[in-house]
Structure 1
Amino acid sequence: MDALPLSINKKQLELIDQSIEQSIVKLQKSAQAQQFSSDDSDTKEQNLLTYGTDDYSEAQERIQAIRTQLKSQLESWDSSPDDAKPVPIDLDPYQLKILQMGIKAQINTLNEQNKKELLSDVMKQLPEFSLQEDAD
């Protein structure tokens, strides 16, 4: 999958990073709850659908790769924080789904309407999740 050509400002990038940080915490809690070592077929299927794997280490690597890209973009930000600029983020279909789920979860927990709007704008720029993206 090609890099997503998001046009976002620094605050949006920070909010996306926060949502991925929360997703990492959620992943760690699911590992602590032994959801990755469960023999339950529904749990395994949910892990496969969400992370593309039922192996915790692989899921952790997938989500950490998103975080690494976001941190790199934040560290190299050279524009005014309020100016939107193209921010390429290279994600596989599962990373895209993780990102979308993280942003949606954060939108649902935020109390500040302006932050919700910033994240909603990012969601509108993301393509629909599809495992068919790599099939061509």
Structure 2
Amino acid sequence: MEQTSQTVTIRPAIPVVRIFDLQKARDYYIDYLGFSLDWEYQHEEDLPIYMQISRSGCILHLSEHHGDATPGSTCFVPIDNAMALHAELGEKRYRNIKPALDAMPWGLQITVTDPFGNRLRFCEQRSRGS
């Protein structure tokens, strides 16, 4: 069997995050965290929404579809300048959220929890030599 040489490029994964209320998801991800809505899809009115949001190089899919993701999951999101994100979120008012900036062995980390129990861990990772 002849084998051809083809290059496979693996790109960053896009996490699917389970949501239960479209307006709460928009308030949290777009208004509070500063993501932009790229697109949304709904097969028919009154059926679940599936959407893509993004900020800088981070892309997330938000889904109301049962079985697309497990509520209460965690996404680890590498970032630059955790202190600036912490200050940005501190200036905004979002009910019951006041995220801390934690110094972890692997870097500076901000953990936020959405209205559906999902966590995003934004982390400015330390270089390997640190």
Would you tell me which structure has more helix in proportion to its own residues? Answer: 1
Larger Rg: 2
Verify same fold: TM over 0.5. no
TM-score, with structure 1 as normaliser: 0.31
Q: Which has the higher contact order (CA 8 A, sep 6+)?
A: 1
Would you tell me which structure has more strand in proportion to its own residues? Answer: 2
TM-score, with structure 2 as normaliser: 0.32
